[in-house]
Amino acid sequence: MIEVKELTKIYKSRKSGNCTALDHISFTLPDKGFIFVIGKSGSGKTTLLSLLGGLDTITSGEIIENGRHIEKFGLNEQVYYRNSTIGFIFQDFHLIDDLTIYENIKFALELQGEGEEEKVKKALADTDLADYGNRYPKELSGGQKQRVAIARALVKRPSIILADEPTGNLDSKTTAQILDLLKELSKEKLVVIVSHNLSDAQHYADEIIELSDGKILQHIKRNERFDARLRLEKDTLIIPSGEAFSEENLRQVEKEIAERPPKKLRQDEERFDPIEIRGGVYSKFRPSL
Ligand code: ADP
Ligand code: MG
């Protein structure tokens, strides 16, 4: 679990003045699950990820990861945390061009003080790259390179994966493959992803945090009971909120209505529920991007 309390990040600059990138934000994240951080450019998404990952210093507030206060870490603890707890994935892959795929992944382990062949092979297999170990990054497609980056993050067995717009440079089919893979990983790990894509968030996210000007606009959680179908149950026609129905779904319900006209109409629950924190409730999901 990660608890973030009143987290603030101010970039100080003599030339351009101070910039408040995160402004007293608080939230809690579970041990596993797929968390989407969305928001306009400049809203503080990358800053939030780099603070969660111990890549940058916190101006004020607290980040508590499984009881450990990240903001109180000394340099050694911070390096250890980054290397053992966190796996990073970036938009532009950050692979080393002169190393093969196998060597790129092994390199991550050596930084950690280990270099076991089995671990590298498992990471390659887990990302469907078993046959690609001897290739070089320039011989791979964008989606394959991103899978290498995921393998490199996984090989260290992190409990938290942080991904900053990992599909920003990929086409929609490859994007779906990468998100499917991250979704699978999120069954055992916490995966926090920054995304610009609202429909990806709606489709994949267990939780969505929307940032705006360094503040949380909304923090919502998937409603597991939600059913997107328009449907007739006994004498009640149930309409899910804010959904577009498929042709097939509509035809089916039209047929049922003709056979037994409904007596009542009910608006069903929504796809996402707001998360309550500290007495406040974030608003219901409304696409604002
Ligand atoms: P996002 O990832 O949502 O686009 P960022 O976290 O990168 O947003 O940036 C949030 C704000 O902080 C922006 O106004 C940006 O200009 C500023 N910022 C980000 N990094 C720095 C930095 N190293 N120095 C000064 N300002 C920065
Ligand atoms: Mg960013």
pLDDT at 225: 87
3-class DSSP state of 21: strand
**Does residue 114 surpass a pLDDT of 50?**
yes
Please tell me the least confidently modeled range out of 76-85, 92-101, 159-168, 239-248: 239-248
Q: Give the number of whichever ligand sits closest to the CA of residue 210.
A: 1
pLDDT at 28 over 50: yes
Reported as a pLDDT band with limits 50, 70 and 90, residue 46 is very high
pLDDT tens across 120-148, in order? 999 999 999 999 999 999 999 999 999 99
Q: What is the mean pLDDT of residues 94-104?
A: 94
Residue 228: what pLDDT? 86
Q: Judge if the beta carbon of residue 201 lies within 6 A of ligand 1.
A: no
Residues 174-193 have a mean pLDDT of: 95
> Which pair of structure tokens corresponds to residue 132?
């690609």
Cα 265–chain centre separation: 36
CATH of domain 2-218+273-281: 3.40.50.300
Q: What residue ranges of the chain are covered by domains with CATH 3.40.50.300?
A: 2-218+273-281
Query: Which ligand is in closest contact with the Cα of 21?
Result: 1
Look at residue 70 and tell me whether its pLDDT is greater than 80. yes
Regarding predicted confidence, which is higher, 179 or 109? Answer: 179
pLDDT at residue 288 is higher than 50: no
Mean pLDDT on 264-270: 88
Is 23:214 a contact under the CB 8 Å cutoff? yes
Residues 191 and 2: beta-carbon distance below 8 Å: no
Question: Hey, how many other C-beta atoms are within 10 angstroms of the C-beta on 91?
Answer: 17
Q: Given pLDDT bands bounded at 50, 70 and 90, which one contains residue 112?
A: low
Dist CA 22 CA 8 (whole Å): 5
| Mean pLDDT (whole number) for 94-119 | 85
Cα–Cα distance measured from residue 130 to residue 252, given in angstroms and rounded to the nearest whole number: 45
Structure pTM? Answer: 0.88
Residue 16 has pLDDT above 90, yes or no: no
pLDDT tens-place string over residues 205-220: 999 999 999 999 999 9
Give the residue whose CA is nearest to atom 1 of ligand 1. Answer: 42
Given this model, what pLDDT does residue 285 score?
47
CB 253 within 8 A of CB 243: no
Query: Is the CB of residue 21 below 6 angstroms from any atom belonging to ligand 1?
Result: yes
The side-by-side arrangement of strands in the sheet containing 60-65 is 19-29, 2-11, 60-65, 68-69
Amino acid at 144: Q
> What's the per-residue H, E or C state across 189-233?
CEEEEECCCHHHHHHHCCEEEEEECCEEEEEEEECCCCCCCCEEE
Provide the pLDDT for residue 56.
93
Q: Is the CB of 220 under 6 A from ligand 1?
A: no
Ligand 1 in reach of 195 Cβ (< 6 A): no
Q: Which atom of ligand 1 is nearest to the CA of 47?
A: 6
pLDDT surpasses 70 at 287: no
